[in-house]
Amino acid sequence: MGNDMQNKIVMVTGATNGIGLESAKALAGMGATIIGVGRNPQKCADVAQQIKTATGNSKVEFLVADLSAQAQVRQLAATFKQKYNRLDVLLNNAGGYFAKREVSSDGIEMTWALNHLNYFLLTDLLLDVLKASAPARIVNVSSGAHSMTKSINFADVEYKTGYSGWTVYGQSKLANVMFTYELARRLAGTRVTANALHPGFVDTGFGHNNSGLMRTGMSVVQKLVAKKPEQGAETSVYLASSPMVEGVTGKYFSSKKEAKSSAASQDVDAQKRLWELSEQMVGAKVAA
């Protein structure tokens, strides 16, 4: 797989703004068929047209799903499989930060539901088509914030007590890295690779779903010091398209280079325990 992405099919979640939008646009510019995923039907339609106009690539389609809802993740995968028989790259990018504790339509704490279980379930549902399309790639957008949390809080993973937005966000990003490592091990020999990445601090809509000082503060800080979204997307695009990482799997990247993730993320027993807990929470046995 080279930087010429002609004849490649790429799914990008959270593709209506920020890093996801810029990743989709860059990969469309390389000729890929883009399947974007977003929650808002009108925004999906507008962004699809925006990408087509910007790149001259008409092979851009958006599917609508709220990825915090497991039924909608399942429907997304089913709809994709009805339309397409291959998938070269799955770019798990959708996520959010919630200053106050919220729950998903499944009654699961929202950060965990959207930032981790979404990645876990969607990847599982698309593994058969990824394997059939091999060599294929799974790219999981994590964050340097994964190092803020020293372990997964297995005793209360949904933080029903002691909720802190940043602690819970950090835990979800730690879960992204740990999931990637365990997934890569399970995919050995399939020619499907799985890697995680830190995009950097990026000026996106991150945190803007919150209210008051949180929203205002995030907006100000992002404008002052953050990367532009197209810069934040560079490592995602690199892992999705570059021949330099063909066959590379089970790694963590920052600034298009392999980096060392936290000690907690490398705990193999905790990775396996996280996998088993995730299976229970999505009601599926995942063979990978």
Catalytic residues: 169
**Other beta carbons less than 10 A from residue 248's beta carbon:** 16
Q: Which residue has the tokens 């992405």?
A: 5
Amino acid identity, residue 243?
P
User: CA 29, CA 213: separation in Å to the nearest integer?
Assistant: 38
CA-CA-CA-CA dihedral for 198, 199, 202, 206, to nearest 10: -70
User: CA 6, CA 165: separation in Å to the nearest integer?
Assistant: 41
Residue 94 · residue 118 · CB < 8 Å: yes
**Which two structure tokens, joined as six digits, stand for 195?**
């890697």
Q: Measured in whole angstroms, how far is the alpha carbon of residue 90 from the centre of its chain?
A: 9
User: CA 152, CA 168: separation in Å to the nearest integer?
Assistant: 9
Contacts of 272 (CB under 8 A, 6+ apart): 182
Strand locations in the chain, DSSP E?
9-13, 33-38, 60-64, 89-92, 136-141, 192-198, 251-254, 257-259
